[in-house]
Amino acid sequence: MIDINIIRNNPDLVRENIKKKFQDHKLGYVDEVLVLDEKIRSLKKEGDGLRAARNSLSSKIGQLMREKKIDEANEIKAQVVKNNDRIIQIEKEESELSEKLKKLMMSIPNIIADDVPIGEDDSKNVQRLTVGQAKAAEFEIPYHADILENLNGLDLDSARRTSGNGFYYLTGDVARLHSSILSYARDFMIDRGFTYCIPPFMIRSDVVNGVMSFEEMENMMYKIEGEDLYLIGTSEHSMIGRFKDTIIKEENLPLMLTSYSPCFRKEVGAHGIEERGIYRVHQFEKQEMIVICKPEDSMDWYNKMWQISSDFFKSLNIPHEVMECCSGDLADLKVKSCDLNAWSPRQNRYFGELGSCSNLSDAQARRLGIKFKDKNGNTMYAHTLNNTVVAPPRMLIAFLENNLNADGSVNIPESLRPYMGGKSKIMPKIK
pLDDT digit string, tens, across residues 60-70:
766 667 777 77
**Cα gap 32→195, rounded to integer Å:** 43
Q: How many domains does the chain have?
A: 2
158 and 86 within one domain: no
Last residue of a domain, which of 40, 74, 107?
107
Q: Regarding predicted confidence, which is higher, 218 or 428?
A: 428
Residue 271, pLDDT above cutoff 80: no
**Cα gap 377→85, rounded to integer Å:** 38
127 and 79 within one domain: no
**Cα gap 62→216, rounded to integer Å:** 58
CA distances to 27, 114, 211, 367 from 105, rounded to whole Å, are 12, 21, 14, 10
Mean pLDDT (the chain, rounded):
91
Residue 29, pLDDT above cutoff 70: yes
- The enclosing domain of 66 has a CATH number of 1.10.287.40
Q: Evaluate whether residue 114 is within a structural domain.
A: no
Q: Is the dihedral of CA 307, 313, 318, 324 positive or negative?
A: negative
**Cα gap 34→372, rounded to integer Å:** 28
Average pLDDT in the 233-239 region?
Answer: 92
**What percentage of residues in the chain have a pLDDT greater than 70?**
95
Q: Evaluate whether residue 116 is within a structural domain.
A: no
277 and 195 within one domain: yes
Residue 270, pLDDT above cutoff 50: no
CA distances to 43, 51, 168 from 48, rounded to whole Å, are 9, 5, 61
Last residue of a domain, which of 83, 107, 131?
107
Structural domain range at position 162:
122-426
- Name the maximum alpha-carbon separation found in the chain: 108
Lowest pLDDT segment from 182-191, 321-330, 389-398, 413-422: 389-398
Average pLDDT in the 242-267 region?
Answer: 94
- The enclosing domain of 259 has a CATH number of 3.30.930.10
pLDDT tens digits, 40-59: 999 999 998 888 887 777 76
Residue 74, pLDDT above cutoff 80: no
Cis peptide preceding 393, ω within 30 of 0: yes
pLDDT tens digits, 172-182: 999 999 999 99
164 and 77 within one domain: no
129 and 102 within one domain: no
Q: Given pLDDT bands bounded at 50, 70 and 90, which one contains residue 268? A: low
Helix (H, G, I), strand (E, B) or coil at 397: helix
259 and 142 within one domain: yes
Alpha helices in 151-255 (DSSP H): 156-162, 172-190, 205-211, 214-220, 235-241
pLDDT tens digits, 149-167: 999 999 999 999 999 988 9
CA distances to 138, 165, 202, 283, 428 from 405, rounded to whole Å, are 10, 30, 41, 29, 10
Last residue of a domain, which of 77, 107, 137?
107
**What percentage of residues in the chain have a pLDDT greater than 90?**
77
